[in-house]
Amino acid sequence: MPFLNPAPTPTPDSEPFWQAANCGELLIKHCEGCGQAHWYPRPNCPFCASDRTVWRKASGRGTIQSHCHLRRVADPYVLAYVTLEEGPTMMTNIIDCDPDSLKIGDPVTVSFIPSADPDQRVPVFTVQV
């Protein structure tokens, strides 16, 4: 049985992210105060503290910063950090892969799969071929 992602528990300020995820869009927060993108999303920029943070659609492309195959659990899975083209690194999973052949730096693309809540999708990544 494949690993079933636990459902996220959205907060009021993260609703747009999780709604977009259900429409196949990866949103990240950009700051109009300092120009930086950050992860995870917050109403106030973690760099300059400005509240002028806006959601922008990310390209959905990135590279593996690191990965870990959790082998000794009932449903093994790959935990990973992916560095997005826009700059920041997010925690996620790499799916549909041979875990032993994954390499740091591999290019990956986002995809959205159902979580334990069948009405909520979560962003995971596949290796680009």
By C-beta, is 6 or 128 nearer to another protein?
6
Residues 50-109 that bind another protein (CB under 8 A): 65-72, 77, 79-81, 87-93, 103-105
Q: How far is the CB of 18 from another protein (least distance, A)?
A: 8
Residues 40-69 that bind Zn ion (CB under 5 A): 45, 47-48, 50
Q: Find the length of the chain.
A: 129
Report helix, strand or coil for 29: strand
Q: Cβ-count burial of 12 within 10 angstroms (0-12 exposed, 13-18 middle, 19+ buried)? A: exposed
51-56 contacts at long range (C-beta below 8 A, 24 or more positions apart): 53/29, 54/29, 54/30, 55/16, 55/17, 55/20, 55/27, 55/28, 55/29, 55/30, 56/27, 56/28, 56/29, 56/30, 56/86
Tokens representing residue 23 in the block? 């429409």
Q: How far is the CB of 120 from another protein (least distance, A)?
A: 9
**Which amino acid would we find at residue 58?**
A
State the binding string over 21-50 for another protein (x if CB under 8 A, else -).
Answer: ---------------xxxxxxx---xx---
By C-beta, is 84 or 97 nearer to Zn ion?
84
Tokens representing residue 48 in the block? 């300059």
Q: Which does 44 bind (CB under 5 to 8 A by kind): another protein, Zn ion, none?
A: none
Q: Does 10 bind Zn ion (CB under 5 A)?
A: no
Site residues (CB under 8 A) for another protein?
3, 5-11, 14, 36-42, 46-47, 65-72, 77, 79-81, 87-93, 103-105, 115, 122, 124
